[in-house]
Amino acid sequence: MTRAAWLYYVAGVNQEATAQRMGLSRARVNKLLGQARDSGIVSITINDRDLGLLHEEEAIKQEFGLDFCITTDPLGFDGIDTEHKATLDALSLKAVGTAGAIFLRNYITENPKAIVGTGWGRTLAHLSRQISGTNFPNARFISLMGSLTANSSFNPFEVVQALAQATGGEGYFLPVPFIADSPEDRNVLITQRAVMRPMNLAKTADLALISVGELTESSLLRQQGMISNKDLDELREAGAVGDTNGLFFSREGHIVDHTLTQLTIGVGIADLAKIRTVLLAGGLRKVAATEAILRGRFVRGLIIDGDSAKRLAERLV
């Protein structure tokens, strides 16, 4: 037992070579190595410095009941001045987008006929640019929300089209605005057959990729003019700290009641809870919003930058 353990763990000889040297079968060597660990002849220690963010990932998974938490390498925001933080924030978005592309590529490889619902935002736009060079003609991509009024790479329509083009799959979108002019207009729009068909497809997606927004003047919703200063103030007064796909969340993870919730057109939280929903979060300024959405308990997986993961884990202590 000790000889087998020494050859394998110290000398670095693989099990097959160890078996040959000792004149035993590989199965016998494998059993001896297991017995060596169980008996204490072999003790294994792990250097915490090489664990990366495993502690943070596990803490976040346990707190929010996630199936998985994927973190990128931390860039080190502590002590960085405000000017450079904006640059590093952009790098965090790109890092999360790249990690999301790897996750999506692996998912579609295992599920080539998958229906993938997507939200909007800079992180998802970067994800769509990182998944090129793949071939998944049977995959279908569908936007989870109406489109913005202005063309941009992070528009839901553009994200879906980019993913479909990059993979050779099919792209579908909701042919309606993200925010209707009135509740009555919204009711008319969502009852149109041209809208009901893609909406039903979105509600039956196998995977949903969503991003997180923070309710500040620098948020994408505000920059794109989708909400007014008055809307922003009212949402904050109602306790909202973050949003995804037009759903506004309080710190406790509850949907905040506001007029906008009666105007936005997209897949609701009840349907997202039935789908394998994965949240992509990049940037320290989105930590509070990320926590709020996760407390909603409808997200199953999280892909987050390392610096934000560390900050989020600290908030859980």
Its pTM stands at 0.82
Q: Rounded CA gap, 204 and 41, in Å?
A: 53
Tokens of 244: 């995804």
42-56, 195-209, 291-305: least confidently modelled range: 42-56
Percentage of the chain with pLDDT > 70? 93
Asked if residue 95 has pLDDT above 70, the reply is yes
Distances in Å between the Cα of 289 and the Cα atoms of 72, 207, 224, 257, 300 are 19, 22, 19, 17, 16
Give the residue-averaged pLDDT of 127-133.
84
Better-predicted residue by pLDDT, 94 or 209: 209
Give the residue-averaged pLDDT of 91-117.
94
Asked if residue 14 has pLDDT above 90, the reply is yes
Place of tokens 């792209």: 171
Place of tokens 């001896």: 32
Task: Give residue 150's pLDDT band: very low, low, confident or very high (50, 70, 90).
Answer: low
SS3 state at 147: strand
Tokens of 115: 């229906």
pLDDT of residue 51: 61
Q: Rounded CA gap, 126 and 147, in Å?
A: 18
**146 and 178 Cβ atoms separated by less than 8 Å:** yes
What does the pLDDT look like over 225-270, one tens digit per residue? 788 889 999 999 999 999 998 899 999 999 998 888 889 999 999 9
